[in-house]
Amino acid sequence: MSDVKTALVTGASRGIGFVVASKLAEAGYHLAICGTTQTTIDKAAGKIRDANGVEVIAQAVDVSDRDQIQGFVKNTAKHFGRLDVLVNNAGITRDNISMRMKAEEWDAVIDTNLSSVFNAMQAALRPMMKARNGRIINISSVVAGMGNPGQLNYCASKGGVEAMTRSLAREIGSRGITVNAVAPGFIATDMTADLGEDAHAQLTSQIPLGRLGQPEDIASAVCFLASDAAGYITGQVLHVNGGMYM
């Protein structure tokens, strides 16, 4: 077994997931990352590898497919001989008002944002329990706590992630494994950049710190929860939202 710690990050092609993976690589972790297409995840892996000199394995994975995500987690543990950190970041939105929400819009978000998190955690438990050590960090959202019109499916999925986080933390704490979540507020990504100046100003006005968060803000929280400094923290949701929701 390698002496170097290993982290797996889902949804790491770009945005928050890419920055989280990059920051873990800076901290010296070998990485396994996945995204929706092989080309984009290979490109991300190359950037991280070149910048940090760590080993990075990359694979296109449909996280909503139980066999694919569990297979990727198991193969990662087998390849590196260990799995120290699992970051469940992959997520989608399919926004619609409740009366018009189609079954496929509900199912796609629940399968990708909620079921995938359970499936990945379940696959990670065997190597972590064997080592009697591990960190599971799930990316939630501010809307799990405050709600958001037109996002019933997304809010439900993230609320479910937080409930699973607490439940699993109670279940496996005695095995030396911590389970926590990070709930981002509005973060400056490709998605928010497309909103336009008026919408951007309106968002910013709701935030006491007066700015959108950066992906690095989320990555720093994840790296803290992955570190030895957070060894006595489990079952918690760490809100990183500039004071927008308290």
Residues belonging to the active site? 154
8 Å CB contact between 74 and 125: no
* d(C-alpha 214, C-alpha 243), whole Å: 14
Quickly tell me which residue has 């050590």 as its tokens: 133
Tell me if 97 sits within 8 A of 150, measured CB to CB.
Answer: yes
Locate the DSSP E strands across 98-155.
134-139
Distance CA 154, CA 173 (A): 28
Q: Are 48 and 54 in contact (CB under 8 A)?
A: yes
Q: Where are the beta strands (DSSP E) in the chain?
A: 6-9, 30-35, 56-60, 85-88, 134-139, 177-184, 237-240
Using CA atoms, how far apart are residues 21 and 18, in angstroms rounded to an integer? 5
**What does the alpha-carbon distance between residue 74 and residue 20 come to, in Å, rounded to a whole number?**
21
Q: Reading across the β-sheet that carries 6-9, which strands appear in turn?
A: 56-60, 30-35, 6-9, 85-88, 134-139, 177-184, 237-240
Beta-carbon count within 10 A of 208 CB: 9
CB 106 within 8 A of CB 153: yes
